[in-house]
């Protein structure tokens, strides 16, 4: 049985397959990382102060999870809260 010959086209296709797989993995990892946000990320995202964020937690507007003294917020819930509180100025 002979040795298979690898062409430039084979190598180019392999490169494209590897790049696409890496992009897919990076997109999945990014989703997991951004699902749970810390105080600083939420304050920056919403452009609010620490006391405002604390008020949103205290009055139940924004739910959170506390693990080992660190507070985490669900990014999807923040987006949902923003949509629910959207005000339309239709004339």
Query: Tens digits of per-residue pLDDT, 45-74?
Result: 899 999 999 999 999 999 999 999 999 999
CATH number at residue 36: 1.10.1660
Residue 89 maps to a domain: no
Model confidence over 30-53: pLDDT tens digits? 655 568 999 999 999 899 999 999
Task: Calculate the average pLDDT of the chain.
Answer: 88
pLDDT band at 81 (very low <50, low <70, confident <90, very high): confident
Q: Do the domain assignments include residue 1?
A: no
For residue 21, the tally of other CB atoms under 10 A from its CB is 10
Overall domain count for the chain: 1
pTM over 0.85: no
Q: What's the burial of 73, exposed, middle or buried (CB within 10 Å: 0-12/13-18/19+)?
A: buried
Q: Which domain holds residue 13?
A: 8-84
Cβ pair 72, 37 in contact under 8 A: yes
Q: Domain for residue 2, yes or no?
A: no
Is 76 inside any structural domain? yes
Do the domain assignments include residue 3?
A: no
What would the two tokens of residue 44 be? 């920056």
């Amino acid at each position: 049985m002979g040795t298979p010959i690898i062409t430039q086209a084979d190598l180019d296709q392999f490169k494209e397959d590897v790049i696409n797989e890496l992009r897919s993995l990076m997109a999945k990892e990014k989703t997991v990382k951004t699902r749970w946000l810390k105080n600083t990320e939420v304050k920056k995202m919403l452009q609010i102060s620490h006391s405002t964020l604390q008020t949103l937690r205290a009055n139940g507007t924004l739910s959170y999870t506390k693990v080992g003294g660190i507070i985490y917020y669900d990014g999807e819930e923040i987006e949902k809260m923003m949509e629910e509180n959207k005000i339309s100025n239709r004339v």
